[in-house]
Amino acid sequence: MGIDSYLISSSVIAVMAQRLVRKICQHCAETVPLTEKEADLLKISQESFPEIKRGKGCERCANTGYRGRLGLYELLILSDEIRHIIGSGGDANQIRAQAVKEGLKILRQDALEKLYQGITTPEEIVRVTRAV
Ligand SMILES: [Zn+2]
């Protein structure tokens, strides 16, 4: 961004990332098995996610199977360690690795929780988040 890293590390306390996913229409949601291809795309095992929800399409959702949107969030708190990484010219991957070590719940994890709760679909997750 053309900003000196010392300015970022001394003035920013947290960074939040947000993505919007479409929510499954609750009027036509049905339980379906997670396919092998979907499990591969999400890099999860079919055993841990045997079933997901999916809207089959109805009048209320104009046959899209989706109705409404939901935000997925990732909150990165700039700890002393992370400030140190930024200050010494560390890259995004180093910052992320440290943040995960400190308990950062990354977007993909938040997304998978929403999948597990039957709120959104694998396609939506793959569209807005990247694999770990
Ligand atoms: Zn519907």
pLDDT tens, position by position, 66-124: 999 999 988 888 999 999 998 899 998 999 899 999 988 888 889 999 999 999 999 99
Q: What CATH number is given to the structural domain containing 120?
A: 3.40.50.300
From residue 15, alpha-carbon distances to 78, 84, 100, 104 in Å are 8, 16, 14, 11
Q: What spacing in Å lies between the alpha carbon of 110 and ligand 1's midpoint? A: 24
Q: What spacing in Å lies between the alpha carbon of 67 and ligand 1's midpoint? A: 7
The region of weakest confidence among 19-23, 57-61, 108-112 is: 108-112
Q: What spacing in Å lies between the alpha carbon of 68 and ligand 1's midpoint? A: 11
**Domain ranges, residue 51:** 5-128
The region of weakest confidence among 2-6, 83-87, 113-117, 127-131 is: 2-6
Q: What is the pLDDT of residues 63-72, one digit of tens each?
A: 999 999 999 9
* Residue at token pair 């700890």: 79
Q: What spacing in Å lies between the alpha carbon of 20 and ligand 1's midpoint? A: 19
For the chain, the domain total comes to: 1
Q: What spacing in Å lies between the alpha carbon of 24 and ligand 1's midpoint? A: 8
